Amino acid sequence: MVLSKFTKKETAVEETHEKTSKDEKVRASSESYAQNMATGVSMHLDEEAGPNSSSIELTEDPDDPKNYPDGGWRAYLVVFGAFLGLTVDFGFINSVGAVQSYLNLHQLADVPTGKSSYIFSVFMLMTYVFCALGGVAFDELGPKIPTAVGAIITFFGMFFTGSCNNVGSFVGVFGICVGFGLAVISAPMTGVISHWFYRNRSKAFALATLGGSVGGIVFPLILNRLYIVVGFTWAMRILAFICLVMNACSCLLVSGRRSHVASKGEKSRALALKSKSNRSRAVFHEIKTLCCNMVDFKALKEIPFLFCTIGIGFSDLALVGISTYYPSFITYIGYSETKANSTITITNAMGIIGRYLPGILADRIGPFNVMIMMMTGATLSVLLFWLCWGVTSQSMASAYVFSVIYGFFDSSVLSLVPSCIGSVSPTSKFGQRYGTSYLCAGLVIFGGVIGGGAIIGEESLEHYKYFSAFAGSLYGASTICYIICRFKLVGWKLRAKV
């Protein structure tokens, strides 16, 4: 009996062990199945999307430097594509003075500067504010679609600008249409660099934004020649076709790597899109997300990002104001339109050096350190060589010296800004943060350019003196903002790379 009881107990223990073993096998099998399903979904996504697509790959850390090529022919081909796009975008913005000075002497000769300034105020407002739309479109759709849309809108805007003959039509066609098109292009052309570069990001940004200097050199020369040969109407139309071809080449060359910078929301939406039953809902969800995520005002609660944005607003207002009104100052003191536009060419030629060298230096010592130095130089160049010398002497020698020195320092306003924003933003939200900064900057610029036009008013030497002091003060305020931003990031550590 004892033996029988012992045998039964032993049998019961064995059955319990066997059952436990089976449960463990089932659980292990379930876990294995779940892992295989997850892998299968990821592989299925990648297989359908192809190797060069913007598919969503479930990576862990989008800000890990190991996830970035930081070089190679494909990465630099993207840089070249961005260079072409920014030649049109930043290049035309840098050349807007060539259009403004021509209109003031011809179509709008009888219109006060304060009134005609609305054209360029609206243009700059659109260019900056709708960067937010281009930024979130880039984050959600990649670089190609927003670039193509912006290129088409820019083409039609430039083409029909030639037919305008009054302030209202110029505001509608040039200010709104061309400004909106360039705004949509801007964020994808700068943001795509952040997908391919991490350690060499500032250098890559500098190479891409060299297009702004090249465009600023070439476009005024093209317009000067075409104004004489074919007149304003066809000058703008020919320029429109040139920009369309360059934007088309840019659109073909740039491609994003969204699989390496995807946010959690993007990953879940990518999986939702794979289900046929959820596709229609997912499309509407994408549209809703695109509208809701245009800007990230909550980011302004972060002190470094807030002061970075304020600094961008001040420096860009100074840049836009000088590029818009300095050629008019040259014609006012008695020199020809050609000489006025030559100062734009010189400024942008020096910008090639002023973009590239600070970009290399920024990768070594940090973008904020370099930006502070460059903004200090821009402040001093405006106050010393325009306010103190240029207004007093009224000579072309002072104008050329100012163009050379100022051109070197002011170029960093556009070339280092993406690196500074990237330093205080997650990579997956770069486009959104970039758009937010330029939305805020656009509102500042809109009021500032109108204010600048009001300062100049009916044009007098005294008024231009006030305007140059105003522009120099803006650069000084921008320098202070970047210093505060740096302090919030690393304190008073002078040797810190930031």
Domain CATH number, residue 182: 1.20.1250.20
Q: Which two tokens stand for residue 162?
A: 């030639």
pLDDT in tens, 387-418: 999 999 999 999 999 999 999 999 888 789 98
Res 67: pLDDT: 77
Residue pair 397/356 in contact (Cβ under 8 Å)? The answer is no
Q: Write out pLDDT tens, residues 186-209.
A: 989 988 998 898 888 888 998 999
**97, 326 contact by CB (below 8 A):** yes
- pTM reported for the whole predicted model: 0.75
Q: Is residue 100 in some structural domain?
A: yes
| 72 in a structural domain | yes
Asked, for residue 264, whether it belongs to a domain, the answer is yes
Contact assessment for residue 432 and residue 293, using Cβ atoms and an 8 Å cutoff: yes
CB-based contacts of 335, cutoff 8 Å, min separation 6: 396, 399
Q: What is the predicted pLDDT for the residue at 487?
A: 95
Q: In this structure, what token pair is assigned to residue 7?
A: 């045998």
C-alpha angle with apex 334: 332 to 339, nearest 5 degrees? Answer: 95
d(Cα 357, Cα 460) in Å, to the nearest integer? 38
Residue 34 lies in a domain: no
Closest of 330, 464, 476 to residue 400, by C-alpha: 330
Nearest to 420 by CA among 258, 93, 194, 214: 194
Range of the domain at 265: 67-490
Ranges under pLDDT 50 in the chain: 1-14, 16, 19-20, 22-23, 25-60, 260, 263-269, 271-273, 276-277
Helix (H, G, I), strand (E, B) or coil at 162: coil
Nearest to 316 by CA among 482, 68, 110, 103: 482
pLDDT, one tens digit per residue, over 58-114 is 344 556 667 788 889 999 999 999 999 999 999 999 899 899 889 988 999 888 888
Cα distance between residue 130 and residue 134, in whole Å: 7
State the greatest distance between any 2 C-alpha atoms of the chain, in Å, as a whole number: 125
The closest alpha carbon to 441, from 474, 470, 483, 467, belongs to: 474
| 68 contacts 230 by C-beta, under 8 angstroms | no
Q: How many domains does the chain have?
A: 1
319 contacts 471 by C-beta, under 8 angstroms: no
Within a domain: 267? yes
